[in-house]
Amino acid sequence: MTAVGPHVDRPPRAPGAHPLLGHLKPLLIDPLGLLAVLPHLGDVVELRFGRTPTYVVCSPEAAQHVLRNSDRAFDKGGTFYENVRSMVGDGMATCPLARHKRLRRLAQPAFRSDRMTGYAHTIHAQVDAVISSWRPGQSLDVLPEMRALAARTTFATMFSRRELDAPEIAGLRQAVTAFVEHQTIPRMVAPSLNRLPTARNHRYRESEARLLRFLDGEIAAYRADGTDHGDLMSMFTTSLDSDRLTDAEVRDTVVTVLLGGITTTAVSHAWALHQLSLDPALDAAVAAEAQAAAPLDDSAADAVDRLPLTRGVVAEVLRHRVASWIFPRVAVTDTTIGSRRIPAGAQVLLSPYVLHHRPDLFATPDNFDPHRWDGRDPHRTKGWLPFGAGESKCIGYELAFIELTLSLAHIVRTWRLLPSPAAVRPRPRLHLEPHGLTLRLAERAPH
């Protein structure tokens, strides 16, 4: 696809561009509305923001072409990654391809399927710790609560050498929250906002520095200890061959995993609970399945196998309200996507949200229907790309799927979450958040 031949055209441009601001205003006000119209225009559609040509990929074939990147025409870059890099360093998720392969190869063993088995028990314990403080009738601010749960689970799978104390957990959670709250669309478009001497930026830098100090201490302790504790830190620090990660690389990888893993899992979990609260019949069926499948803290794979409907709910949340709704690449050379010309330096936006709402790929895409996954493997479904694809596909995708399925089952078998009085709407920031989601807790009678 790299040869730029005579039958290659510029991608069509989306309507509604302002002569000076291009599509900036709709991007800031209603990004999902802006994206919704694009697949009608073509497989690759141009948006205008400033001087950098920007293209949105709207078909599964075009998305696979860019993400699999067999002609090495695309790399990570652009304002989105510049923004994340300026905040969390240059780890595996953000660094250019030239460094990525080695980091990925060294971190990959930590996410092998056979390592997941022991995580079922860890997930169970963390859900118990969170839900044990819940009371019937309580109103739950769901997203922060799910962030706390995802944070606990990620810390437990990452650091099992010793039990973290309460101030350490609070400090880590605060760093994750500070990161999420800093990730706004204006900062993604103009990362230089992070360099302004504002109180907000200052507070962020302080919390980041605390996080890095904590991680440096833990890395040194894991290195000195040298044993495999069956957790992610052991894999990053001790179980690698001679081409081991340096301390700085471990730190960047851990920050990436902490921030990337916690925030995405938390929003997906919150959306799942929201969807169950809207559909009492589905909620009852998922709860009955969870109660019948107990105990859920044996082998993770076996436990997940006993939860087909819950798995369908998770697959559908990852389709309908996909956390990573958009992420970019930059063209490093003049290239093509299908029959469309892409100039070197252009920003290419991948939007799983766009693909997941195409009616030709997913019938009635705006309906939340977990049964569309009955007997169907989402990982083999064309156009389902919540974890990306190719060499940068989410390294934690199996862990995320297991974590979401098991935690959801643990929660719903004892608690019903009754619907929000306020309207809940998707708020696109770094991830697609359920804005305004509070649910009321009610105890569930056993089936």
Among the listed residues 42, 60, 260, 370, the single contact to ligand HEM using CB under 6 A = 260
Residue 407 binds ligand HEM (CB under 6 A): no
The 3-class SS string of the chain reads CCCCCCCCECCCECCCCECCCECHHHHHHCHHHHHHCHHHCCCEEEEEECCEEEEEECCHHHHHHHHHCCCCCEECCHHHHHHHHHHHCCCCCCCCHHHHHHHHHHHHHHHCHHHHCCHHHHHHHHHHHHHCCCCCCCEEEHHHHHHHHHHHHHHHHHCCCCCCCHHHHHHHHHHHHHHHHHCCHHHHHCHHHHHCCCHHHHHHHHHHHHHHHHHHHHHHHHHHHCCCCCCHHHHHHCCCCCCCCCHHHHHHHHHHHHHHHHHHHHHHHHHHHHHHHHCHHHHHHHHHHHHHHCCCCCCHHHHHHCCHHHHHHHHHHHHHCCCCCCEEEEECCCEEECCEEECCCCEEEECHHHHHCCCCCCCCCCCCCHHHHCCCCHHHCCCCCCCCCHHHCCCCHHHHHHHHHHHHHHHHHHEEEECCCCCCEEEECCCEEEECCEEEEEECCCC
Q: How far is the CB of 101 from ligand HEM (least distance, A)?
A: 9
Residue 104 binds ligand HEM (CB under 6 A): yes
Determine the interface stretch with ligand HEM among 26-34, 135-143, 376-384, 395-403 (rule: CB under 6 A).
395-403
Determine the interface stretch with ligand HEM among 57-65, 205-213, 383-391, 435-443 (rule: CB under 6 A).
383-391
Residue 261 binds ligand HEM (CB under 6 A): yes
Residue 84 binds ligand HEM (CB under 6 A): no
Residue 257 binds ligand HEM (CB under 6 A): yes
Residue 327 binds ligand HEM (CB under 6 A): yes
Q: How far is the CB of 25 from ligand HEM (least distance, A)?
A: 26
Decide whether 200 or 393 has the Cβ nearer to ligand HEM.
393
Among the listed residues 312, 378, 396, 434, the single contact to ligand HEM using CB under 6 A = 396
Among the listed residues 84, 127, 296, 400, the single contact to ligand HEM using CB under 6 A = 400
The footprint of ligand HEM on this chain (CB under 6 A) covers a number of residues equal to 23
Determine the interface stretch with ligand HEM among 190-198, 202-210, 220-228, 253-261 (rule: CB under 6 A).
253-261
Among the listed residues 69, 83, 122, 268, the single contact to ligand HEM using CB under 6 A = 268
Residue 149 binds ligand HEM (CB under 6 A): no
Q: How far is the CB of 280 from ligand HEM (least distance, A)?
A: 25
d(CA 46, CA 31): 14
Residue 156 binds ligand HEM (CB under 6 A): no
Residue 388 binds ligand HEM (CB under 6 A): yes
Please say whether the beta carbons of 186 and 28 come within 8 A. yes
Among the listed residues 69, 387, 409, 434, the single contact to ligand HEM using CB under 6 A = 387
Decide whether 427 or 440 has the Cβ nearer to ligand HEM.
427
Q: Which residue is nearest to ligand HEM (CB)?
A: 396
Residue 325 binds ligand HEM (CB under 6 A): no
Residue 77 binds ligand HEM (CB under 6 A): no
Which residues would be at the binding site for ligand HEM (CB under 6 A)? 92-93, 104, 154, 256-257, 260-261, 264-265, 268, 323-324, 327, 386-388, 392, 394-396, 399-400
